[in-house]
Chain A
Amino acid sequence: DAKTTQPPSMDCAEGRAANLPCNHSTISGNEYVYWYRQIHSQGPQYIIHGLKNNETNEMASLIITEDRKSSTLILPHATLRDTAVYYCIVRVGSFGNEKLTFGTGTRLTIIP
């Protein structure tokens, strides 16, 4: 799987949009971009994933650049409960990719 690079930490004011960047410059054509988060003491929570088009669900939006070498996770109206470590992961789109590889992630702190 391609490696990802994320900033180690970010702050965001409560109520504002949180934009979390991720670089995946070696991504292959069949690799999906995934985002998970881990709130202290809890299991990783799936947020969103995409291949090449931008995606939106009830939690967040995922913007993938046209060359697919980077992406941004957007939490539109951050709340204190969004304070967590956010992981950007790339996964191949075929069988045999059982393992999720979590890097060090971005520690997002929402400021009241």
Chain B
Amino acid sequence: NAGVTQTPKFRILKIGQSMTLQCAQDMNHNYMYWYRQDPGMGLKLIYYSVGAGITDKGEVPNGYNVSRSTTEDFPLRLELAAPSQTSVYFCASSRGAEGNQPQHFGDGTRLSIL
């Protein structure tokens, strides 16, 4: 009964370092999403994917890259970490993007850039 699993849960990076946030889902969902949530704010969509091999930008994609080689995995990469990328990152998945298909979220990765 895992659902959406994100690793790591916490990470501290230095400015200019790179890292990959991992996301995996076991519900055979076609759609996967990456959001970021800054303190006291709502979620902002970074990237999403409608299936293996297909990704597209959300509203705040700059500084990030994604890939989707399998249905289950949707990693998010930060190439040159900047303090503005300090945030909580949530991965989500859904069966589709229609209005009656809920998104299910992981527990997040808390990332600090110092």
* Known A-B contacts A42-B107, A43-B90, A44-B105; A93 and B98 likewise in contact (beta carbons under 8 Å): yes
> Using a Cβ cutoff of 8 Å, how many contacts connect chains A and B?
62
CB within 8 A of A98: which of B43, B48, B105, B107?
A: B48
Does A103 sit within 8 A of B, measured CB to CB? Answer: yes
B97 touches A98 (CB 8 A): yes
Do most interface residues of chain A lie in helix, strand or loop, or is the interface mixed? loop
Which residues of the partner chain B approach A100 to less than 8 Å between Cβ atoms?
35, 43, 45, 92, 103
Chain A residues with Cβ below 8 Å from B92 are 43-44, 100
Bound CA–CA A14/B97 (angstroms): 36
Contact-residue bracket for chain A = 20 to 34
**Bound Cα distance from A103 to B41, whole angstroms:** 8
Contact between chains at B97 and A95 (CB < 8 Å): yes
CA distance A95 to B100 in the complex (A): 10
> Are B102 and A49 closer than 8 Å at their CB atoms?
yes
What is the CA–CA distance of A32 and B102 in the complex, to the nearest angstrom?
A: 10
In the complex, what distance in Å separates the CA atom of A100 from the CA atom of B108?
Answer: 16
CA–CA, A46 to B103, complex, Å? 7
A46/B58 in contact, CB under 8 A:
no
Q: Is there contact, CB below 8 Å, between A94 and B98? A: yes
Instruction: Report Cα–Cα, A43/B104, bound state, in Å.
Output: 9
Q: Report how far A26 CA is from B104 CA in the complex, Å.
A: 26
Q: Determine whether A101 belongs to the interface, using a CB cutoff of 8 Å to chain B.
A: yes
* CB contact list, B1-28 vs A, under 8 A: 4
Minimum CB distance partner of A102 in chain B = B42
Residues of chain A touching chain B, judged by Cβ–Cβ distance below 8 Å, are 30-32, 34, 41-46, 49, 51, 91-104
